[in-house]
Every structure is written in C-alpha cells, then in structure tokens.
Amino acid sequence: MSQQMFWNNKFSKVDYFYGTKPNEFLASKLDLIKDKKTLLCLGEGEGRNAIFFAQNGLEVSAIDASDVGLAKLDLKSKEENLDIKTIFMDLNHWEAKEKYDVIVASYLHMFENEREELFKKIENSLNKDGYFIGEFFSKKQLSYESGGPKDLDLLYSLEDFSKRFTNCKKNLSEEIVTLDEGIGHQGEACVIRVVIQKV
C-alpha cells in the first residue's frame, strides 16, 4: 500500500485523527524559535502543528503524502485566515531545494533504510543556527498500546540521530510520556525527542 493510500484511509475515518492540538513537545519549543521566520513541517498530516506555528507568527510550509490530510489543513488555514503553503508529496521524493530556519516533525513513519537520505536533506535544508525539532516513537513503543506502528523498522532509537547530523549540536532524549492526541495517540508512550541545531 502506498503512503498516500495508507494515510488517506486513516484521515478519512474521523474529522481529525490526531486531534487539532499541536504536538505538546513541538509546541513547548516555541520560545526557542521565537526569533526564527520560516518553518517546514514534515509528514504534517491534517495540519495541527502547522496551524499552531502559523498562529504564532511563523511562515509555514507543510509536506505530506496524504491529499486528504492536506485538504483539511488547507480548509482550517482558510478558516483561521492563515497562509500556509502545502506540498503534496511522499517525503522520499522531497528534493529539499529551499532553506528553512526551523524544521519540525512528529511521528514520521520512515523505514530505517530511508532515514539516511531524509536526515541529510533536513540538515542541508536548515539555515545556519536553524533547528530540527521532532518527537518520534521509540523502538520500545512496541510494549505500549497508545498508538504508532507495530513494525520495528518504522520505530526509532537515539542512535538514529546521534550517528547523523554531524555538523550540528544535539539534545536527544528517550522519555515515557502520556499522549492525548485525538483517537490516534492515547495513553503512555515511549518517545525519542530531538532538538538539533545546525552550527
């Protein structure tokens, strides 16, 4: 099944599968990026993070493989009178031609063999002093029932980030958190949290 079909099916089930509140960890970093201008959301789905950052004054673009998810984002951004650029694309086809001050992601479902290329693109797409901020399901998430893939190859370890982003400062942690994100993520979860700054 293609990424588009998988996510369209998920996002067609309810109004907002992961709710409308931004990811708590990403939102908590607003002060860190308050002086930044351009922000890119990767695998943004129905747009909860994009809406939040645009409401807080950032110039936001969002990429996702689901046209259903992006249609919801477009509709919500018009309702909120926000100008968010949406890009309908599988992340494996992203060419990363533009530069951004901040790149964010929550729970990207990328296979392990796809990450090397993606993380290079992220690093190359950041302006100097720019930030990559993300929350990802840990491989230990298999022991929890709060959401996320049941395929180890789609889950992350600290090493995924520590061995990459060589020209960056990294703050990486693995934490147990309680998720409350729509019907998609509910309950205790094990996540990897990353704040990476290009130097």
pLDDT tens digits, one per residue of 143-195 = 999 999 999 999 999 999 999 999 899 999 999 999 999 889 999 999 999 99
pLDDT tens-digit map of 84-96: 999 999 999 999 8
What CATH number has the domain bearing residue 188?
Answer: 3.40.50.150
- Lowest mean pLDDT, pick from 78-82, 93-97, 125-129, 154-158: 93-97
Q: What is the CA radius of gyration of the chain?
A: 16
Range of 167's domain? 3-198
- pLDDT averaged over every residue in the chain: 95
- How many structural domains is the chain composed of? 1
> Looking at the predicted structure, is the pLDDT value of residue 116 above 90?
yes
Helix axes 3-11, 67-79, angle to 10 degrees: 50
CB-CB neighbours of 21 under 10 Å: 15
**Can you tell me whether residue 81 is helix, strand or coil?**
coil
CA distance 25 to 171: 13
- pLDDT above 90 coverage of the chain, percent: 88
pTM for this structure? 0.96
pLDDT of amino acid 3? 86
